[in-house]
Each structure stands twice: as C-alpha cells, then as structure tokens.
Structure 1
C-alpha cells in the first residue's frame, strides 16, 4: 500500500515542469505534472503513441491542438481526453499558482498494449 498527497513535495522553485509517475501498471501510467508558468516550446508538439486523459486539480492552463483553431482553456476540475497522435502543446499555465495535473496514459489499441506487456 502506498499513500501520498498531490499537493505535497512541490519545490518552491520550478525551473522545469515537475513530472512524476504515481502509479505504473502493465497497460497504463498515472503521472502528476506540476507547472508554474511553463509552456511548450513554440516549435514543439506532443505526438504520443498512447491516449492521454488529463484532469486539472489546481491552477489554469491553455492547450493548443494542431487540428483545432481555438485553444482549450482548463481550470480546476476540468478534464480532457487526447487520443493517441493528436498533436498538442501547452501554450500557457498560471504563473502565480501551481497548475497540478493528473494524467493517465494508456492505449486503446490492444496491439500496442500487448507490445508493452
């Protein structure tokens, strides 16, 4: 058994986003991400092989999807499903308050799951 707190263990200075695996199973990974004014580089897009489901616990963030004209703004309590290979990036996170995300990475494609087990 393991217990923890999403709001603890966050450094007061975050030169980079904090990414921490909280739970890893055979077919998924649960990650805590902490941002504070962080954003993706202008020429960078996430293009992941896995699906991602993300929940914002605290703070605010704005995401850009390559396939969508308008940005998506997330605030505490909001979640978003990003299917595999949907190119996206973080264009803004709150600079004064830590933005705390929970992200579940998994594969909806059973062939991909079998390759990782």
Structure 2
C-alpha cells in the first residue's frame, strides 16, 4: 500500500489553518487505492432535507472538535461530542443533522 507523499514529507497539525466557510471543507490528508483520510471542517452545515449518504466503503469518523448530530435511517440519531468516534458501514444510510461552529472531523474511508 503506497500513501501519497504529502503526509510523509512534513509534520502537519489537524488544528492549524482552520478556515470557516459557507460550505463544508473537505481536505484529503492522504490516500491510497484502499484508504482515504480526510479532515472535514464544518461550520454549522447539515445535509440537505431528505438527503442521505449511501457510501460504498466503510467510514471511521472521529470528531476532533465541536459537536455534531448524525441521523441513521435504521438506527436513529447519534449525538457526538469532541473525542467521540464511530464506524459507518457501507450503504448505511445516514445524514448530518447538526454541526457546531466549528466542528472538525477526521474521516477514514476504507474498503
């Protein structure tokens, strides 16, 4: 498995260079054929009404800062606070109901 050189060439910090915007910011930290790691910066955003994510891969999500609430079609609501994490199974329909200003996520997508 070969990861991109971005992460290997220098030290980075998940809490530096935080930009708040009207749209969520998705930054790929590193990726390979089977894994993608992203930092996601939310600023009060939520999923559009009636929209559900339906992903082909697993997603490990860790809330590094702030608060958030997810809604799973089969399981209901899950409230997250700083430090909470969970694994979202492939094709587990879910949506973002709430994010604080800011909410900083570390998301690992894998197959």
Q: TM-score over 0.5 for the alignment?
A: yes
Q: CA deviation at 1:44?
A: 0.8
* TM-score (normalised: structure 1): 0.84
Structure 1 distance, partners of 2:24, 2:15, is: 15
Structure 1 distance, partners of 2:51, 2:77, is: 16
Structure 1 distance, partners of 2:93, 2:105, is: 18
Q: CA deviation at 1:2?
A: 2.7
Q: 1:38-80, CA deviations, whole angstroms, 9 ceiling, x for partnerless residues?
A: 0000121000000000000000000000112x31000011001
User: Structure 1 regions of 5+ residues with no counterpart?
Assistant: 108-117
Structure 2 distance, partners of 1:44, 1:2, is: 38
Partner of residue 65 from structure 1, selected from 62, 72, 76: 72
Higher strand share: 2
Q: CA deviation at 1:26?
A: 2.3
* RMSD between superposed Cα atoms in Å: 1.0
Q: Which residue of 2 aligns with 1:14?
A: 21
* TM-score (normalised: structure 2): 0.88
Q: Which residue of 2 aligns with 1:102?
A: 106
